Amino acid sequence: MTLNEIAAELVAGCREEREGENLDKLYAPDAVSVEAADFGQGREAQGIEAIKAKHAGWNAMFEVLDHSASDPMPHGDDRFAVIFEAKTKNRETGEVDEMKEVAVYHVYDGRIVREEFFYPTG
C-alpha cells in the first residue's frame, strides 16, 4: 500500500470503529507506539501485540461517547498526521472528558512502523 492508501484506510477505520482490524492490516509486526506522557506503563509500546494490549486497556477504561478523525495530512513520502477528537466517559468514575490529540504515523515498506501521539500533559 502507498502512504496515501494507508493514511486513508487508517482514518476510515477510526471513523468506522474498526481500529483493531486495521492494526493487523496496516502495522508492521515490530511497530512502536509512543505516548506524550507515561500513564504508569511507560511511554512506548513495542510490537503489534503490545499496541493491541494498549488499545484493549484504553477501551476497558473509557467509553467513547463521540469521536472524530480529520482527513490525513501527508508529510513527504514517509509520514502523515491525523487530528483526533473524542468525548469519553471513564468507566470507573463516570467522569466525562473531551480530548484532542495529534497523531503522527511513520510508514516504511508499506506498513506503519511508528505512531506518536501529541496532547496536553499538564
Distance CA 7, CA 25 (A): 12
- Hey, where are the domains in the chain? 3-118
**Would you state the cell numbers that stand for residue 37, as one nine-digit string?**
506522557
| Fold that domain 3-118 belongs to in CATH | Nuclear Transport Factor 2; Chain: A, (3.10.450)
Distance CA 18, CA 81 (A): 19
Q: Write the pLDDT tens digit of every residue in 21-76.
A: 999 999 999 999 999 998 888 899 999 999 999 999 999 999 999 999 999 999 99
pTM over 0.85: yes
